[in-house]
Amino acid sequence: MSSECTIQNVFNRFYPAYESVHPVSGIQRKAAYHIMNCKTGAFGVNVSVCEDCGYIQIHYNSCRDRCCPMCQEFPKEKWVDARREDLLDAPYFHVVFTVPEELNPVIYSNQKLLYNALYHASSATLGELAADPKYLGADIGYIFILHTWGSAMNFHPHIHAIVLGGGLDSGNHWKDKGEDFFLPIKVISRMFRGKYLSELKALWQDGRLEFHGSAEPYQNHYAFKELLDTCYGKEWVPYCKKPFQGAESVIRYLGKYTHRIAISNHRIKNMTDSTVTFSVKDYKNQGRWKEMTISGEEFIRRFLMHVPPKRFVRIRHYGLLSSRVKNKKVTLCRNLLGCKKYLSRLKSLDASAIIKLLYGKDICTCNSCGGRIVPLTAQQLSKYLRC
């Protein structure tokens, strides 16, 4: 029994047996290989030597896989820091778009198509309603981040949207409604439901959907139509949180969602020869944390469900914040609001300087004597070892 373990430990223990009896896609197999071999030397090493005392320091390369829990912190910090330059001193809101659980089997069988449909329906809903003079009458900006998991690593696709609470009208004047969210939740719900189901129906009619596993019954025309009718009859419940308290809080909040994976190392509590215990939120009990124990095989299955399709872009920018127009539009908004520009702290720094700034660790200083550490090339290392 192990009381201190990581996701890498869990994969090394249970993945080989899981792969031998369960079908695994190429992208899932690649993610598992990366997780099991991250920082083990499988992806190469960097060797440095102290100029003063000759102390050799070895650093094992990471896998850089976006599903690896050990490789998210550095990219997250750089991404969040780059977003500082796009921030305005204006209200921001957090909106979550979810779909009924009845659709989950079909979505899982058609991940790329139906994840994209989530982005399309959510974006069209916010963009059209914000442009309506009845609500705001302006072009707004928003960032979408796809998550596919619940706290217990169950399949639960949903989009987190960070929404700028104001925008530019047709005359390029700034408009907002202060701290009040400008769109009624019921209106968002019904428009999002209509747009998503319309795209789902169009993909079905074009014969582009596949049905595997628990989605197989929906190959039948009547069963699929009954599924659509059920979803049309349900209230889809988007969620909107209170506005953020200033631009800096938006920066901190983004870091919680952008590079998150299905489960992090600190939630793994225990591992035995056959089970894994991890902490989950109990939403039926006011979101309190509790421990859940499942088989190692089930843990691997749940984790691999959330490996995104190859080259799938999870973080997308729209409206005023889209890459095509944001430099011009955000600058105009900043001038209209008379607010300062938040500058990137990391843009001009190399990796060693970023690590020193963020974590207070100087990787260019010898741990033994405090002298200067310099990297060795392969040729220098070979010569050094011969000596």
Q: What is the pTM of this model?
A: 0.91
Summarize the confidence of residues 207-214 as an average pLDDT. Answer: 95
Question: 175 with 133: CB under 8 angstroms?
Answer: no
pLDDT for 366: 86
The label of the residue with tokens 């469900």 reads 305
- 10 to each of 273, 291, 318, 333, 346, how far by Cα in Å? 10, 17, 38, 49, 34
Does 2 score more than 60 pLDDT? no
Radius of gyration of the CA atoms of the chain, in A: 24
Extract the tokens encoding 259: 């590079």
SS3 46: strand
Separation between Cα atoms, residue 108 and residue 28, nearest integer Å: 14
Summarize the confidence of residues 194-221 as an average pLDDT. Answer: 96
Separation between Cα atoms, residue 319 and residue 339, nearest integer Å: 20
Separation between Cα atoms, residue 232 and residue 212, nearest integer Å: 23
The label of the residue with tokens 């399949």 reads 155
193 Cβ partners below 8 Å, 6+ apart? 231, 232, 234, 236
Q: Which amino acid is at 62?
A: S
Give 104-163 pLDDT, tens digit per residue.
999 999 999 999 999 999 999 999 999 999 999 999 999 999 999 999 999 999 999 999
Which position has the higher pLDDT, 381 or 247? 247
Angle at 240 between CA 234 and CA 244, to 5 degrees: 170
Separation between Cα atoms, residue 304 and residue 31, nearest integer Å: 8
Closest C-alpha to 84, from 346, 350, 316: 346
Extract the tokens encoding 67: 């599903």
**Alpha carbon 177 to its chain's center:** 29
Give 58-86 pLDDT, tens digit per residue.
889 999 999 999 998 888 888 888 888 88
Q: What is the DSSP letter of 237?
A: -
Give 6-61 pLDDT, tens digit per residue.
999 999 999 999 999 999 999 999 999 999 999 999 998 888 888 888 788 888 99
Cα first-last separation, the chain: 44
Residue 373 host element (H or E)? strand 373-375
Q: What is the DSSP letter of 377?
A: -
Summarize the confidence of residues 184-188 as an average pLDDT. Answer: 92
- Burial of 289 from C-beta contacts in 10 A (0-12 / 13-18 / 19+): exposed
Question: 279 with 289: CB under 8 angstroms?
Answer: yes
Left, alpha or beta for 278 (phi > 0: left; psi -120 to 50: alpha)? beta
Number of Cβ atoms within 10 Å of the Cβ of 90: 21
Extract the tokens encoding 55: 């102390």
Does 386 score more than 70 pLDDT? no
Question: 147 with 160: CB under 8 angstroms?
Answer: yes
Question: 146 with 120: CB under 8 angstroms?
Answer: no
Number of Cβ atoms within 10 Å of the Cβ of 115: 20
pLDDT for 384: 58
Extract the tokens encoding 135: 């609500």
Question: 166 with 175: CB under 8 angstroms?
Answer: yes
Orientation of helix 185-205 relative to helix 111-131, angle to 10°? 140
Min mean pLDDT across 55-69, 95-109, 197-211, 236-250 is at 236-250
pLDDT for 381: 61
pLDDT for 127: 96
